[in-house]
Chains A and B, each alone.
Chain A
């Protein structure tokens, strides 16, 4: 299908993005819509993120990467106001996201948490329709705009043929596409996904990654996803954020960041970074464990 500007997110009017052509170049004249400033976050007294600074590039696909326990899910949850900061702040369009009304945030920022429990008796279209929640109220019930947003989300995720099926009858990959469709029906300029490819077969992983790349490059959305597979992230993401010990170790385009030095520093694994002759994408070939895990401080 052809994706047109009609599918631009509803919440983007505030900033007035124009088309998709400026995605490649940075926009130095505008502050990024979502950023973390001196962010400390964690659970209870435990501090997982310490003084983290991050500016999410608008209109790009950003991958959050790092070893287990480095705080990538905590970062995503805090960016999405699911978890509160211990200090510092997350700014959405320049305002502290944790102090904005949650429904107002939901019109600008869509979120797919890690491994949501699928309500099996619900039909695909019903789940996707839930994405319209933040745009509705007692006085403003279901409208043609909602109908259009749901149809469009089903089209983008190629779920139209399955729209009337109960979720319980779908495969894992289809369910994940359905959840993403729900998030798309929210029509937010920003979309955050926590490990959207985990537990999926390789084929579905690639489908989801390609979908996220399309969302950014064809529809101008800003996508942030926690990913596990380095090579997949290098191949599909525009911007990689390597997290280590609760802070950003390195960030930038894969060509700049995806190096043997960075991977060793972050994951504690020596490796060779090669270029796939067929696709031109960078690949990491792990060689050995660099040092005892406890030695890393």
Chain B
């Protein structure tokens, strides 16, 4: 399997524990930078005060606590969710190109939300469920289309199915746009994937589902490693592959659906991060899953720093930043598939 072809030599000098510690350290630094950098740059002292001795009367501390900290929490959570979903998808389908965005799962969740908004159904509480429904239907449809014909769900076939379904979903969203230009403006930025002005109420609603999805992912991690040896070997080791795939699907749907409700579809985190992580820790998903969470959180937070600062005082949609960085990596991965 090509997902494994990354040189594992880099694993040696640091070891998995050392690598994990380093990843957490990097995450902490990026998180602090996220709080400190922006339209107004804040001193480390202000940051610390805002975190440990919050005084709402201080405007800079207020910025940290009321604007940047919520945004940071969203970036960390959504980044972790998307990366873990990508790791599960790549592990279960044995497909290095599988990811929530490539296979259309994120867009499926987004389409459900868009359509519901235009039809005027659903509030903050039901939004995640609509997104779950969209993610679930899209996952199943893409997998079925990708499995048609000889050879089953081969990586490129599955990817093409994802592209085709995404195109269909994109046209649904465009149709909604044409029918209701005004209402669409509110959603336009969200559809590009953004962390600007997110609704903390929506985030609070989505959080339990994200936690549940992550918990399931951690619980099935060991079995995914075994499934990576092929269906027959896994069965011989006592893995119940059918049940495992369903659990993985449930986890992916929870993670992607909840993430999309909060920030809109953010691409490439789920594709790229698991590859980065596997290059360091190998194919043992007991390590890949938690470290994908840490690295995904760090990468999305870093992308959000770029989104906020590169055109300051203007802001880019964070999803655009991840796409700019992630698209070349995707091309490189496809090239490796073709060879």
Which residues of A are interface residues toward B (Cβ below 8 A)? Answer: 80-82, 102-107, 109-113, 116-117, 119-123, 126-127, 130-131, 133-134, 136, 138, 166, 168, 183, 186
Apart from A102-B239, A121-B283, list 18 A-B contacts with CB within 8 A.
A82-B235, A82-B236, A104-B238, A105-B238, A111-B236, A113-B232, A113-B233, A113-B236, A119-B1, A119-B229, A121-B7, A121-B282, A122-B283, A130-B237, A133-B223, A134-B237, A166-B8, A168-B5
Bound-complex Cα distance A134 to B240 (A): 11
- Nearest 9 Cβ contacts at the A-B interface: A106-B238, A111-B236, A121-B4, A103-B238, A113-B232, A134-B238, A133-B237, A119-B4, A121-B8
> How many angstroms from the CA of A186 to the CA of B234 in the assembled complex?
12
Docked CA distance A122–B11 (Å): 11
Name the distance in Å between A199's Cβ and chain B's nearest Cβ.
16
CA distance A107 to B233 in the complex (A): 14
- Are A106 and B283 closer than 8 Å at their CB atoms? no
**Residue of chain A at shortest CB distance from B5:** A120
- Residues from chain B with a CB closer than 8 A to the CB of A107 are 238
Contact between chains at B230 and A116 (CB < 8 Å): yes
> What chain B residues lie within 8 Å of A134 (beta carbons)?
237-238
Q: In the complex, which residues of chain B have a beta carbon less than 8 angstroms from the beta carbon of A183? A: 236
Residues of chain A within 8 A (CB-CB) of B237 are: 106, 130-131, 133-134, 186
Chain B residues contacting A81 (CB-CB under 8 Å) are 235
| Complex Cα–Cα for A121 and B2 (A) | 9
Complex Cα distance, B239 from A120, in Å, reads: 21
| Interface size range on B against A | 20 to 34
Q: Which residues of B contact A102 (CB under 8 A)?
A: 235, 238-240
In whole angstroms, how far apart are the Cα atoms of A107 and B236 in the complex?
A: 10
Q: Note all chain B residues with C-beta closer than 8 A to A105.
A: 238
Q: What 1/0 mask marks residues of chain B from 216 to 250 whose CB sits below 8 Å from any chain A CB? A: 00010011011011101101111110000000000
Asked if A126 and B240 sit within 8 Å, CB to CB, the answer is no
Q: How far is the CB of A111 from chain B (nearest CB, A)?
A: 3
Name the contact of A116 in the complex, choosing from B232, B282, B283 (C-beta under 8 A): B232
Contacts of B235 in A (CB 8 A): 81-82, 102, 111
B308 CB within 8 Å of chain A:
no
For this complex, 19 residue pairs linking A to B, each with C-beta atoms less than 8 Å apart, are: A82-B236, A102-B240, A105-B238, A107-B238, A111-B232, A111-B236, A116-B230, A117-B230, A119-B228, A119-B283, A121-B8, A122-B8, A122-B283, A126-B284, A127-B229, A130-B225, A134-B237, A168-B4, A186-B237
Contact between A138 and B283, CB atoms less than 8 A apart? no
